Amino acid sequence: MQSAASAARSRPVIGVLALQGAFRAHVRALAELGVATREVRTPAHLEGLDALVMPGGESTTMSRLLTSSGLFDEIKARVHDGMPVFGTCAGMILLAGEVLDGRPDQRSFGMLDATVRRNGYGRQVDSFETDLDVVGLDTPFHGVFIRAPRVEAVGPHVEVLARVAGDPVLVRQDRIMAASFHPELTADTRLHEQFVALVRREQDQEQ
């Protein structure tokens, strides 16, 4: 049997949505921080999870697979009940309240009070890298943007943690963090660390 101490050490368990996209890099970043992870492909995989990461990839494909796997409604209910979630790139699109230039049948969870435009940086600069000044970090964070969504508006309860040319690229709303770039594709784990700290704070409050 697991001792109470080792059970406490194995938490939190953070799920990484693994239907499609760059999920392995998130698993690696979290593992580097010593956090237990689980790849999420079915509703059963959500059992006992403390938080969820939604990776970059293709939001239209993920939307379709979320519905066919039965995960869409289950995740929506869990996040509604307070489960922290971190969405990056396509993951941010999935969280947004309003998606512009999406496919007509594309679904989003609507939990982040933001309007995002898919592929909103246009063709010429559809992929770019730039150093970001992030609230709470002493030195810049290197942002990798790949056909990134552009955040065109955020609601009053959304805290903007970083911007590019005035547009929010990293935001937080309660227990939701979202980045229009890919923090999992650099060796810098500071944003994952911030998310894990948020998850631990939630756990402490529950006890």
Question: Residue numbers of the site for ligand GLN (CB under 6 A)?
Answer: 56-59, 89-90, 93, 118-119, 146-147
> Where does residue 200 rank: exposed (0-12), middle (13-18), buried (19+ CB within 10 A)?
middle
Helix (H) or strand (E) holding 23: helix 23-32
> Where does residue 109 rank: exposed (0-12), middle (13-18), buried (19+ CB within 10 A)?
buried
89 is annotated as an active-site residue: yes
Closer CB to ligand GLN, 119 or 203, in the complex: 119
Q: Please tell me which residue in 26, 45, 74, 89 is annotated as part of the active site.
A: 89
Closer CB to ligand GLN, 24 or 201, in the complex: 24
Residue 93 beta carbon to ligand GLN: minimum distance, rounded to whole angstroms: 5
Q: CB–CB of 141/190 below 8 Å?
A: yes
184 is annotated as an active-site residue: yes
Closer CB to ligand GLN, 50 or 59, in the complex: 59
Residue type, 203: Q
74 is annotated as an active-site residue: no
Residue 110 beta carbon to ligand GLN: minimum distance, rounded to whole angstroms: 16
Residue 135 beta carbon to ligand GLN: minimum distance, rounded to whole angstroms: 23
Query: Where would I find the beta strands (DSSP E) of 9-100?
Result: 13-17, 36-40, 51-54, 85-88, 96-100
Q: Please tell me which residue in 26, 45, 182, 192 is annotated as part of the active site.
A: 182
Q: Please tell me which residue in 184, 192, 202, 206 is annotated as part of the active site.
A: 184
